[in-house]
A and B are shown apart, each in its own frame.
Chain A
Amino acid sequence: MASVNINYQDFQKLINEDKPVLVDFWAPWCGYCRRIGPAYEKIAEEFGDNIVVAKVNIDNEPFLAQQERIEVIPTLVLYHNGKVAGSIVAPQSKARIEEFINESLGK
């Protein structure tokens, strides 16, 4: 399963559903966002059955980025039961993203 691009409305709906939602806040001009892209797609394939793996382009969704207090990108936020279960800025590796997901959901 590939990651899905979502907007404000999708976001509000998804985070209140049962499935945890992982969101990558990114922008096209951000070099490091691009670097984590391939790993993020692998994450979507591997975790897609259990969590929604989504992306928010903050240039298109400035209001959402502001509401979620995203100050630097890339920031990954994991939402569960309508709340933030954890977040990570500029993860160094795919393994670090996996670890972050498992830690956040294990809480």
Chain B
Amino acid sequence: MNNVKQIYDMIVIGGGPGGYTAALYAARAGMSVVVLEKLSAGGQMALTEQIDNYPGFVYGVDGFTLGENMQLQAERFGVKTELADVFSVELDGNVKEITTSDGVYYGKTVVFATGANPRKLGLEHEAEFVGRGVNYCAACDGMFYKDKTVVVIGGGNSAAADALLLSKIAKKVILVHRRDTLRATKIYHEPLLNAENVEFRWNTVVTELLHNGNKINGVNVKHLVTEDVSVAECDGVFISIGRIPATELVRDKLELTEDGYISADESTKTNIPGVFAVGDVRTKALRQIVTAVADGAVAAFFAEEYLAGIK
């Protein structure tokens, strides 16, 4: 329990790559830092077994280990980790209050690193087969489907980008979209429509994930107009129907975008001085581990500047 009223220089909410990098840089700059994490370090990447696009690891690294190492590295410089759920935040004033399952934490600066989660289809077996045919990130898991058949679900920019990327790896890509045209920006249309191995199933939705007990081997696809149901055999499914940023805590406290992300530019500064947003929870073009860690370093830099100003 957190009985003594200690005021930290920085409270980081969320123990993913963005959060622990902010903590590492802040601690190395002499700040006192606590990271509040609900379960274990790493965030979304902790569920990725093989990360091949984080530089420095010739043969890749598993996400859980990378997360744990980021935690240990930050802790080497004095960062504390508390495993607690955050219930509410009070961000006005020079000392900010974070109420958790483990008591109240006080901090002069707060870094939101709460991440985003892929939107789920909500079908049976979906959670069970994550990593065994159910995927949410083509850039992460696409390589496992070299010369195989995959289904991509969605019609927005990320689905189009995923389908295009997968068309260069997989033997065949089946795009399942509930409308009769892509919602994605025009730049994606031509290359996708021209790709010989992309098959479009317009006006359709996936109604069932099929499996052989061990992994996904197909999906049931229902046509929304004719209501016909057909089977699309495949080796994997990529679900690209958007993400949900974890911003419930700050819905009425910080400026958010229409999609619910925290409004903050590359400086990671939010509309409240001393409050920063890093990683997937922030408005940004590319949500990757490398961009999250970059945000973390930037947030620590501006937090230090902010602290110098209020002292």
**What total count of A-B pairs have CB within 8 Å?**
50
Q: B32-44 interface mask toward A, CB cutoff 8 Å, 1 = contact, 0 = none?
A: 0000001111100
Contacts of B42 in A (CB 8 A): 35
B39:A92 contact, CB within 8 angstroms: yes
Given A31-B131, A72-B128, do A92 and B46 touch, yes or no (CB 8 Å)? no
Interface size (B, Cβ < 8 Å)?
19
Q: Give the docked Cα–Cα distance between A47 and B196 (Å).
A: 59
- One of A31, A37, A38, A92 near B47 (C-beta < 8 A): A31
B135 to chain A, nearest CB (A): 13
Contacts of B39 in A (CB 8 A): 35-36, 38-39, 92-94
B84 within 8 A of A: yes
Given A31-B47, A42-B83, do A94 and B64 touch, yes or no (CB 8 Å)? no
Contacts of B127 in A (CB 8 A): 90
A73 to chain B, nearest CB (A): 10
Residue of B whose beta carbon sits closest to that of A42: B83
- Chain A contact residues: over half helix, strand or loop, or mixed? helix
Contacts of B208 in A (CB 8 A): none
A58 to chain B, nearest CB (A): 15
A39:B101 contact, CB within 8 angstroms: no
B40:A38 contact, CB within 8 angstroms: yes
Q: B100-121 interface mask toward A, CB cutoff 8 Å, 1 = contact, 0 = none?
A: 0110000000000000000000
Interface residues of A in 80-97 (CB under 8 A from B): 90, 92-96
B85 within 8 A of A: yes
Given A95-B85, A95-B101, A98-B101, do A35 and B38 touch, yes or no (CB 8 Å)? no
A23 to chain B, nearest CB (A): 19
Offer 7 A-B interface pairs, CB within 8 angstroms, sorted by A: A31-B47, A34-B46, A39-B39, A92-B39, A93-B101, A95-B83, A96-B85
New A-B pairs, 16, CB < 8 Å, besides A31-B49, A37-B40, A95-B102: A31-B46, A31-B64, A31-B130, A31-B131, A34-B46, A35-B42, A35-B47, A36-B40, A39-B39, A42-B83, A72-B128, A92-B39, A94-B38, A94-B83, A94-B101, A98-B101
